[in-house]
Structures are given as structure tokens and as C-alpha cells.
Amino acid sequence: MDLSNFKCTDFGEYKVYENEKLKLVKSKDYNYNFNKENGFFVRWGKTLTEDAEMSKFGPEILDLEISQGKCMGKCPECYKCNGAVENVHNMTLEEFKTIFHKVAKNGLLTQIAFGICDIGTNPDFFEMMKYAKEHGVTPNYTCHGLDMNEEYAKLTAEICGAVAVSVYNKEKSYNAVKMFVDAGMTQANFHCIAHDKSFDKIKSIIDDINTDDRLKGLNALVLLRYKPKGNGVGKFNQLTIEQYKELLDYAQEKRVGLGFDSCSAPLYLEAIKDDEDFKTKSLYAEPCESSLFSSYINCKGEFYACSFCEGEGMWQQGLDVLNCEDFYKDIWNNEKTIKFRNALLGNCRNCPMFNLCGGNNV
């Protein structure tokens, strides 16, 4: 690739090449190419056929919560318990900028997934996303769609790389997707938490994607792994391998694009282990990347390996990002982060917190 039209920043052990469309990272054993326009991302290690074990220089993706508390969604599976309490805590714009520059300082950050309550809960939400984009980082977010309107949809299309709608109210969710697509979004997705009580609902959504005109521009239905945390504790059970495989087969039969989060990767790989195209399909599965390639910071500026870790096991307390001197030294390579990272790698990148696939419950 001709790099003459790229701005190059030399960080010593690695170099970052960037232009308006692409960001490339080059080092001895960790490399990636990221397309800012369509989200295409590929990572490799010493060679193109070798996976990088981790990004020792900092995270590629940041999950950033900017509000918590009162939420009209009151989703039954919400692991943050939003909607169950009336108090609201918002990250300020200045706090966001402080965190952003500490995390993005190493030049590796590609995307921020913003965690919100209602669209209007944090008054600086869209300003934060604009700021990230202006500084070369692609913003994304997930919403419940209940308060979506054409103005929000237009702003989202102008700023975001992708958006997801959690399907709790079909009418509102389907209308939200149409508004996003009409505004110009090409990466509008559905999110649905997969468990025993949502199994039939997921199949009905797959049917609707083929028949409801509002969903013509939908990119994909993304299945999220259920974790026993927050509002849903004791109310749901994990899907069996047979149920998960049935959903995969049903989506393929109906020609509906189906995606999944990294928490679901072990379940997905088990479900397709006898597939004749297993080798090819397995390339699309990225197991847990928390503390390896991604991180989470809550609305109080506290770092956790991932958002589900907050208040669990060794993560009863987070790490203070707002007051740290150097994110790379004080947070990314903190003793607690390294301990979690080693537990994750030692368990074949299966969740070490919730024992979903033989975790260690650190």
C-alpha cells in the first residue's frame, strides 16, 4: 500500500499511519488496518497468518458510559439496572475530553461505543460524539428507540459510524430503524439479548426483517449473550447449543444477516463445529477482547476490564482514569488489569467473570 498520502506518527515501538479514510498501525508483532468509512477492521501479529495476542500499547475500542439511572426503557435484562432507579449521573463534556485524550494519546483508538440511557439524558451526548469524530475516532451507540425522532436520527447519520436499536418495543424499534435509514445510516442494526424467554421473539424478528418495509435498510440482527447481572438476575436462562444453532440456521434460511458479540463467540463456535465451512466461519468469531484490545470506563471515570465486570469479583473497585497521570502505565498496565488479562488468556479468552464457558471467576 502506498503510504505517501498518510500522516505518520512514530511512537517508537510502533507507527500510526492515518488519512481521512484509513488508520493503519504497524509494529513488529501487532498491526491493524481500520477503515473509518465502513468499519472494516483487520488485525494480525508478526505475520498476516498469525494473530496478535493483545495490544500492549493500549485499547483499540473504548466502551464509554456517559449516563446512568432513570431510563424510559426499563429493559428487563438491563445489566446496568437503568430505569430501576430515578437518580441520574451524567459524565460532563470536560470529563469526557479529559478521558478521551488520555485514552487516545497512544494513537490506537478507533471507535467509542457510547453507553446511554435515553437519547436526551446527557445533554452533551452529541457534542461528545462530534468531538470524537473530529479527532479521528468513530462514535457508535445503542439505544432503545422509544424516544427516537427525525432530528436525533439525522444527527446520528451525520456523526456515527453505526447505531444499534435494542428491540423491546417492536413498533418503536422498527420505526427507529426506518428513521435512521431514511437519514442515511448504512450501519443500523438490531440488538437482542438471547436467552430462553427471547428465543421465539428472535425468530419473529427474523421473520419481520423479511416482511416489514420499515426494515429494508437494516444491516443485521446482532445477538448478545445473556449475563446474570442487573435487572435480569434469576429471570432468564442461557440458550442451549441446540437453540442457538436453530437460530443460526433459521437466519440463514431466511437470508437475514446475523451477528453476535464477543461474549457469544464460544457458543457460536460450538454451534458450528460440525459445519463444513467451519474454518471459514470461525474467522468471523472474536472471543472476549476485554483488557486485550478493548476497555470500559463508566460515567464516573472509572476503568473496568469490561462493563459486565463492574462490581464483580476482583473489580469491586475500578481504576481512576480522570486523575491518573498516564493511562497506558497507570491503567492499561495496572496490576489489576494485568491479573484479569492473564486470567482471560489462561482460559482461552473465555469469560473469567461469569463462568459462561468454564471461567475462573476472578
**Residue with cell string 517508537:** 12
Per-residue pLDDT tens digits for 65-114:
999 999 999 888 999 989 877 789 999 999 999 999 999 999 999 999 99
For range 148-164, the mean pLDDT:
97
- The x, y and z cell numbers of residue 132, run together, are 470524537
DSSP 230: G
Residue 307 C-beta-side C-alpha neighbours within 13 Å: 22
Give the C-alpha distances (Å, rounded to integers) separating 156 from 153, 176, 185, 301.
5, 12, 8, 24
- In contact, 352 and 343? CB cutoff 8 Å: yes
Per-residue pLDDT tens digits for 219-246:
999 999 999 899 888 899 999 999 999 9
- In contact, 44 and 31? CB cutoff 8 Å: yes
Per-residue pLDDT tens digits for 183-232:
999 999 999 999 999 999 999 999 999 999 999 999 999 999 999 899 88
For range 175-182, the mean pLDDT:
98
Secondary structure class of 141 (helix, strand, coil): strand
- In contact, 65 and 91? CB cutoff 8 Å: yes
Q: CA torsion angle for 114, 347, 236, 68 (degrees, to 10)? A: -20
pTM of the model: 0.93
Give the C-alpha distances (Å, rounded to integers) separating 129 from 101, 126, 183.
14, 5, 17
CA 276 to chain centre: 29
